[in-house]
Chains A and B, each alone.
Chain A
């Protein structure tokens, strides 16, 4: 049994919470005592009816109180798979929270209200999905019950969305007509949509192939920690602990330590103290080398690669996440995996309109939730990949040196 992480997106009242509630409820993931609490809160409903949206809504209360709306994580499992849902708010002012939730997702469910069709929010969420390279996109056309389960309405929305998806270069898109409220095509196939020949949402979530999303050709291993027991029996032991971000590592592999560019050979690969033939993504492992070289946290152990870059000048798309504006010349810390270096923002090339994808070269100060393209100069060379080529080693964050907060998510290019 494996694990699928997905995020739900849609504008307010499209039925996101209802959909999640439906998935949890129909897969028996809600316990009686939790259900009881919700029944009590479903005040406006008639006797015995439950408001499915309440399963996920701490969010609603937050909205009422006007405090920051944040990503909440929900968990459920079926016999085939386990699921982690990032329930992220859809408003433009919460773009950063959506980016946070999207960064770890294998799949995004974008809800579209059948009565409204593709709207600005749909476009923005799709743009974010494409920026973050979420491998799979599922567009659920919701509230089909309110348009008499019309095939025509569905087809029009599918055509509209497909046009946009092409423009955004979104590859894997699936469409499903649903009613989150009544459960049509969520867990069980709907009798109301005989014209729909595809699978139910749950079936798709259970079976979509995610192993192909990992790149096994390019090998990246950031060193997090150096293990040196210095005990009597392990006097000379030196193991580099890290996570295989992509690719595979085995004994005898010739590797290069970056950014210094020193070559060595793998003496042993261990997973949890046991020597293995091979470690592969996304395992946590320990690598030992035949040569005694000075390797520290922040170094990257790679196998031969044609796409990896080592540079002090990096172009990146930033999602700005701080209330203080981003200004050219500002200095930050750039964290790429376990490496942290000082950097300066040399140029801001353009601001991306996340509703239209238009690149504005003239723009107001860069503030919270803005997406901009920048040139970053680092104090020392960084080994990294282009986010679009190798997602696992192309993401980075900017940290405010004095406030210590995370101020931006970066897709390196």
Chain B
């Protein structure tokens, strides 16, 4: 009698692959939104496994804010090539020029808000009816309520009141022209699952996920990478620190974590023991509490 047991990573993987295949089966022009972060790297791995020995039957799309870490871009190109997937890159810079958009100012000018213009234009340009994304429900309260197949209107908006019931493993991807479905295959994964999966699958990550020495500005206790995109003011404390990234987004709005973790195992150990959430620790735009900061200091971070 063979043992019919699957561990949680197998179960999560099986569910995510089922979702990937539903996308390929239900939609005419799906795509996978690839940001270069660990969640979307995990998505690519899942897509590869879902369609083996065939190729991923949809393109990878990167909305390039122009504020990326160079390591993430290099990784993106290599990954797409290795996966044999088509890579589409559209630049926020171009949208800003073409549409005369106004950039956010400030010390760490974020292009987060502008990104959605480029995304909507890209969806329209290619007629994408589904975009696979790497959001997880454990990230924040609003996400905790979002469906796996999440319908967006012509303006890309999510209406929580109009969410479709989502029963069993039955996904309804029917839409009207102009609408679009965002699909989140790793909705049920938590941060640690992603790291454990990356470890189990032996997935290579961009080097910035591991400890490296970097010049950072210390801003409200956050460590923000020095780059041409941030504004340096008089009195700024700029130091060299051993850091790694817990999430990889734009250079201007993701903070680094003081860390000497050099391997996936080190990182998993750190995350198991951290008492700060992923968002709280890395998102400069979100407020981090005093208690959390106090605790970080207690742990000797600064």
Q: Are B161 and A397 in contact (CB under 8 A)?
A: no
**Contacts of B170 on A, CB cut-off 8 Å?**
335, 337, 395-397
Alpha-carbon distance A341/B280, docked complex (angstroms): 46
Q: How far is the CB of B219 from chain A (nearest CB, A)?
A: 17
Interface string of B169-209 (1 = CB under 8 A from A): 11010111000000000011010100000000000000000
**Contacts of B276 on A, CB cut-off 8 Å?**
31-33
Known: A67-B160, A405-B164. A224 touches B8 (CB 8 A): no
Among B57, B188, B295, find the residue whose CB has the most chain A CB atoms closer than 10 A.
Answer: B188
Q: Are A82 and B141 in contact (CB under 8 A)?
A: no
Alpha-carbon distance A72/B139, docked complex (angstroms): 12
**Contacts of A248 on B, CB cut-off 8 Å?**
2, 4
Q: Are B142 and A227 in contact (CB under 8 A)?
A: no
Known: A58-B141, A72-B144, A243-B169. A224 touches B4 (CB 8 A): no
**Contacts of B176 on A, CB cut-off 8 Å?**
404
Partner of A211, one of B5, B137, B145, B288: B5
Does B54 sit within 8 A of A, measured CB to CB? yes
**Contacts of A70 on B, CB cut-off 8 Å?**
145, 160, 163
Known: A216-B4, A404-B175. A241 touches B21 (CB 8 A): yes
**Contacts of B54 on A, CB cut-off 8 Å?**
227-229, 234, 237, 239
Alpha-carbon distance A31/B272, docked complex (angstroms): 11
Interface string of A67-88 (1 = CB under 8 A from B): 1101111110100001010000
Interface string of A250-282 (1 = CB under 8 A from B): 000000000000000000001011000110111
Does A321 sit within 8 A of B, measured CB to CB? yes
Alpha-carbon distance A239/B22, docked complex (angstroms): 15
Among B10-18, B66-74, B244-252, B257-265, the one that faces the other chain is B10-18
Number of A positions contacting B (CB below 8 A): 70
Alpha-carbon distance A241/B25, docked complex (angstroms): 10
Q: Are A33 and B165 in contact (CB under 8 A)?
A: no
Known: A39-B291, A58-B145, A67-B160. A241 touches B50 (CB 8 A): yes
Interface size class of B (residues with CB under 8 A): 35 or more
Q: Are B138 and A75 in contact (CB under 8 A)?
A: yes
Among A97-105, A347-355, A372-380, the one that faces the other chain is A97-105
Q: Are A33 and B11 in contact (CB under 8 A)?
A: no
Q: Are B17 and A284 in contact (CB under 8 A)?
A: yes
**Contacts of A77 on B, CB cut-off 8 Å?**
190, 192
Q: How far is the CB of A397 from chain B (nearest CB, A)?
A: 5
Interface string of A369-413 (1 = CB under 8 A from B): 000000000000000000000000001110100001110010000
**Contacts of B21 on A, CB cut-off 8 Å?**
224-225, 241-243, 284
Q: Are B25 and A32 in contact (CB under 8 A)?
A: no
Does B52 sit within 8 A of A, measured CB to CB? yes
**Contacts of A281 on B, CB cut-off 8 Å?**
4
Does B237 sit within 8 A of A, measured CB to CB? no
CB closest residue in chain B, given A393:
B168
Among A97, A229, A272, find the residue whose CB has the most chain B CB atoms closer than 10 A.
Answer: A272
Among B2, B10, B21, B160, find the residue whose CB has the most chain A CB atoms closer than 10 A.
Answer: B21
Alpha-carbon distance A297/B27, docked complex (angstroms): 12
CB pairs A–B below 8 angstroms (18 shown): A32-B276, A33-B288, A39-B291, A73-B137, A73-B145, A99-B165, A211-B5, A224-B22, A225-B51, A225-B57, A239-B53, A270-B52, A273-B49, A277-B2, A278-B2, A282-B14, A404-B176, A406-B167
Listed from nearest, the 3 A-B pairs whose CB atoms lie closest are A273-B52, A36-B289, A33-B280
Beyond A225-B51, A248-B4, 20 additional pairs, beta carbon < 8 A: A1-B7, A2-B6, A2-B7, A31-B276, A33-B277, A58-B145, A71-B145, A73-B145, A224-B22, A225-B57, A241-B50, A243-B14, A243-B17, A243-B18, A273-B52, A278-B2, A283-B10, A399-B174, A404-B176, A406-B165
Tell me the B residues contacting A by CB distance below 8 Å.
2, 4-8, 10-15, 17-18, 21-22, 24-25, 49-55, 57, 137-138, 141-142, 144-145, 160-161, 163-170, 172, 174-176, 187-188, 190, 192, 274-277, 280-281, 288-292, 295
